[in-house]
Amino acid sequence: MSSVRAVVVGASHAGAQLVTSLRQGGWPGEILLVGDEPVLPYQRPPLSKAYLAGKLGLTELAIRAEDFYVKQDIKRVTASVEEIDRSAGEVVLGTGDRLSYDALALCTGAHPRRLRAEGADLDGVHYLRRSSDVEGIRGDAVPGRNAVIVGGGYIGLETAASLRALGLHVTVLEAADRVLERVTAPEVSAFFTRVHQGEGVDVRTNAVVEALVGDSRVREVVLASGESVVADLVIVGIGIEPTTELAEAAGLVVDDGILIDAYARTSDPTIVAAGDCTSHDMARYGRRIRLESVPSAVEQAKVAAATICGKDKEIAALPWFWSDQYDLKLKIAGLNTGYDDIVLDGDPLRDRDFTCYYLRSGELIAAHCVNRLRDFATSKRIITEGTRIDLGGLERTVESRGTS
């Protein structure tokens, strides 16, 4: 084997895919995957769903089995990376050891946004990003207890569904006017509110957390309105922030994520990056975007590996996402940013399956499909191809309308 070495920092979805694609792409030398969790790289989306509910273990969530890394001669290193020494071509580990590299990839991911409120450091307050976070939640998630979830985004709602299945009383506190306000149309928000309320979840909007109260352990959440909510445990799900400190300290350009080009190269063309830690210009949407998406992380990792191997490949796939809640599977094609009309096929106030099509100047730019996999596949193809279509023939339960 060649003496060259590729070091991939971050044993995430992106990291696990990148080392795989490196070997498949013909990288001739050593491949080191450095991560600070003492387990195999695993899928993160099921953490708030099947893993929290106890339906799957970490073995089932592993992206690849241990023998895959052995057979592909990919070495896993359990350590944190404290510094990138670009001039020496080395990374410095938390142990003080230094690893030289001929190619370096950053897949440092993201971390939960912290709740800035008095009492946020009390026992019983949790975040959900890693398997160890879920294990802490499980220890507190005793049937009959009162769980308060701060944040009505996808993580918050998925967690609510899982905790209800475990027999807890659940309250969701959302500071905005509606759940999923940042990412969906009001009709989609109303659908998920209806579903969760039907499952016994207390959904409260315009609910700004003022403080968490308790002795050493949280026992209630106090809102800015003066109301208080009894809490045996609190789970904070108010978004994630890209983990860019390592890149910033190394002098790489960071703008809401490590800035990469279409080939996943950072401002140092000898270093690539992929996954939730990155941002890049997307011509399709005419702006710089940071995507929190497994499919996007996987695509970027494949492109980054191709770049390292000297092959031309660009980031080009349409972003897509999914969310599982109760018996519902929401699949999202495209980004709805800047939409000016919607068309609904199905009734979100009555049905448990429907599609919300998002249009901008008459062009389909995104679709939110609940339990409608065919609509998702069709929408994904149409948006990718840029095909002009007439949506007027769709069965409508509300009139197409603007958001203004």
Q: What is the pLDDT of residues 153-168, one digit of tens each?
A: 999 999 999 999 999 9
Q: Sheet harboring 218-223: ordered strands across?
A: 209-214, 218-223, 228-230
125-236 and 327-393: same fold? no
Give the mean model confidence (pLDDT) for residues 87-112. Answer: 97
Residues 196, 157 contacting (CB under 8 angstroms): yes
Name the fold adopted by 5-111+240-308. FAD/NAD(P)-binding domain (3.50.50)
* pLDDT 10s digits, 220-277: 999 999 999 999 999 999 999 999 999 999 999 999 999 999 999 999 999 999 999 9
CA distance 88 to 40: 29
- Name the superfamily (CATH) of residues 327-393: FAD/NAD-linked reductase, C-terminal dimerisation domain (3.30.390.30)
Please, which residues have CB within 8 angstroms of residue 328's CB and are 6 or more apart in sequence? 195, 352, 370, 371
125-236 CATH, one of 2.40.160.20, 3.50.50.60, 3.30.70.20, 3.40.50.360: 3.50.50.60
* pLDDT 10s digits, 285-326: 888 999 999 999 999 999 999 999 999 899 999 999 999 999
**Taken in order 228, 233, 239, 243, is the CA torsion positive or negative?**
positive
Out of 9-13, 43-47, 283-287, which region has the weakest mean confidence (pLDDT)? 283-287
Domain ranges of the chain: 5-111+240-308, 125-236, 327-393
The pLDDT of residue 134: 96
Task: Report the alpha-carbon angle 99-102-108, nearest 5.
Answer: 65
**pTM for the model:** 0.92
Q: Sheet harboring 271-273: ordered strands across?
A: 74-78, 30-35, 5-9, 103-106, 271-273
Strand partners, 258: 254, 278
